[in-house]
Structure 1
Amino acid sequence: MPVEFIGLVSAAEGSETGQTSGATVDRDFVRRFARAHEDAGFDKALIGYSSSSPDNIQVAAYAAANTERLGYLIAHRPGVVFPTVAARYFATLDQFSAGRVAVHIITGGNDTEQRRDGDYLTKDERYDRTDEYLDLVRKAWTSTGPFNHDGRYYKLEDYLSTVRPVQQPHIPLYFGGSSAAAYRVGGKQADVFALWGEPLAETAEQIAAVNQAAADAGRPKPGISVSFRPILGPTENLAWERAYDILRATRANLDAPNSIFRQFRVRYSPTATPQNVGSQRLLATAAAGELHDRALWTPLAAATGAAGNSTALVGTPETVAQALLDYVDIGVTTLLIRGYDPYNDAVDYGRHLIPLVREEVARRDRGEAANRSAIAPVPAALAAHGAGTG
């Protein structure tokens, strides 16, 4: 089965390692960045969400208008808008983009960030609301007649939308989280469950938990996405030199006046304990050692307080491709990769990394198909015909 690659497109240039340009929205950069992902062979690009960022649905719409094939995975926080309104937003964009939209549900793991957008629910309440929210969004996309709803968080009457998604039966739903509540709700709702990059053993444990939650909800196993920050070099030594250069630049940039950390009003602290389980898990992995498995490197997660996707895979393209394939081997179907030099890294991934992974996955698929063909049972009629000609 082909593996899916997702990158990340932001509204303006910047990363953890350097000063931002100061622009909030840079139309030329968004256009070039989206096209770079399309040319590199990515399937989709994530458009992130925060309380201080430009509206990501509009960023995705602009990027989609300037590309032909690339899909857009739009991060969405339930509770910011009413679920039927969100359903129309996404269905409309799916129409304009000719079916290139997916939605990434982020329930939210930081109370301070939630309250900036007026959300004062507890974490458990937020997950319960997300469950109800997604029931309504899905129903809004698929219902052929008016419906009512009277739930814990939402109430509506006589709803029916005239705009339907191009994608049927509905727009794909991705879902992020690492807590028991996330597994429970995501297992029920997600088409693809998204995890941050942990060691193989811990990732396999999370996949099993998600699959069990899906089974408990009477649903098939969802796809699994895992996120990494690949750091490539033409040799192993040069890749590691680059990794330590990125680490030094990130540490120096934490308190810089025009850093991305200040832009998003967050001081990524290596000493504060984050509220969300995903960041706690990454910090625990970093505390257990700098290097795990084939190429998973954790000091950048430790330096930034693991406030986001921050574990790296370091090495030559061949080494990193094999590391990504190790995750495919344990059930991962989607690889979200973005770099610390975002534009140039996206180009390099398309030239040197993505083709290696795709070629190996295709080779394996051909081998499996050949094996299935070799052991396929002979049809009864053909067997009888053969027996009569001996």
Structure 2
Amino acid sequence: MPVEFLGIAATNDGSEVTPRSGASFDKGYTLRLARAHEEYGWDRILFAYGSGSPDPSPAAAYVAARTDTIQLLVAHRPNVSYPTFAAKTFATLDHISDGRLGVHFITGGNDHEQRREGDFHPKDERYARTREYIRIVKKAWTSHEPFDHEGDHYRFHDFVSDTFPVQQPYPLVSFGGSSPAAYAAGGAEADVYCLWGEPLERTAEQIASVKAAARAAGRTDVPRI
């Protein structure tokens, strides 16, 4: 099984033990860190999402225009934008990066953090919404004909995009979560399923749950871990 090294695309020099020395989005620091990952052979860097943090998509666009090979994984919460809008945003970013984009869909495990941006859905419902959201984004990335959608969380008519990703059929879809609702959503839709670092026995159980969810969704493949 191939191993991929994933780093963090921090936008400032602050940490859990050290206050940052400048702005929350420090362009110089962001670029130096990204280029260091690229220079030393890391595969990919994650632009994380937080309710009060710099927006990861324009931060990734800034780095994409100034790097050559490092893959970019952009975290995205479905509650902050409509899926058709997100699909166009990420398709555009895939062009800016010359096909180096991946999207990490995060549902939000902390109710307080979610409510900061107006999301009051319970966790299981959030995962169901994320699954529907990813399906819409994928269809917007691949459909050249107008389509309608009538779902539990989204409804629209006659949408068609004129902006498609460089990567075909679409960029990497990454996902994370550690509950039955998460396994059902990510097992059905993700290319890569991310887990926390936990004891091996618990990790094996989670991998088995993801694979079972993928099979239940009718997939012939399973997400990479």
TM-score (norm 2): 0.97
Q: Which runs of 4+ in 1 moved over 3 A?
A: none
Question: Hey, what's the Cα distance between the residues in 1 that align with 2:2 and 2:210?
Answer: 21
- Give the aligned residue type for 1:222: P
2:2 aligns to what? 2
2:157 aligns to what? 157
- Give the aligned residue type for 2:84: T
1:135 aligns to what? 135
Structure-to-structure mapping, 1:32-181, within 5 angstroms:
32-181=32-181
1:14 aligns to what? 14
Give unmatched runs, 5+ long, in structure 1.
225-390
Question: Hey, what's the Cα distance between the residues in 2 that align with 1:221 and 1:27?
Answer: 38
Identity across aligned pairs (percent)? 56
Distance 1:22-1:28 versus aligned 2 partners, 3 A rule: closer
Question: Hey, what's the Cα distance between the residues in 1 that align with 2:116 and 2:82?
Answer: 17
Question: Hey, what's the Cα distance between the residues in 1 that align with 2:209 and 2:120?
Answer: 28
Cα RMSD after superposing both structures: 0.9
Question: Hey, what's the Cα distance between the residues in 2 that align with 1:2 and 1:192?
Answer: 13
2:200 aligns to what? 200
Structure having greater relative contact order (Cα 8 Å, sep ≥ 6): 1
- Give the aligned residue type for 1:138: K
Pick the structure with greater CA Rg: 1
String of CA shifts for 1:219-270, please: whole Å, max 9, x gaps.
111100xxxxxxxxxxxxxxxxxxxxxxxxxxxxxxxxxxxxxxxxxxxxxx
More helix by share: 1
1:144, CA displacement in angstroms?
Answer: 1.8
Partner SS, residue 133 of structure 1: helix
1:222 aligns to what? 223
String of CA shifts for 1:104-138, please: whole Å, max 9, x gaps.
01101111111111111111111111111111101
- Give the aligned residue type for 1:34: A
1:2, CA displacement in angstroms?
Answer: 2.9
Question: Hey, what's the Cα distance between the residues in 2 that align with 1:66 and 1:32?
Answer: 10
Query: How many aligned residue pairs are there?
Result: 224
String of CA shifts for 1:32-72, please: whole Å, max 9, x gaps.
10000001111110000010001110111111111100011
String of CA shifts for 1:302-354, please: whole Å, max 9, x gaps.
xxxxxxxxxxxxxxxxxxxxxxxxxxxxxxxxxxxxxxxxxxxxxxxxxxxxx
Give unmatched runs, 5+ long, in structure 2.
none
Partner SS, residue 54 of structure 2: coil
Question: Hey, what's the Cα distance between the residues in 2 that align with 1:92 and 1:86?
Answer: 10
- Give the aligned residue type for 2:7: G
Question: Hey, what's the Cα distance between the residues in 2 that align with 1:199 and 1:48?
Answer: 24
Partner SS, residue 78 of structure 2: coil
Partner SS, residue 18 of structure 1: coil
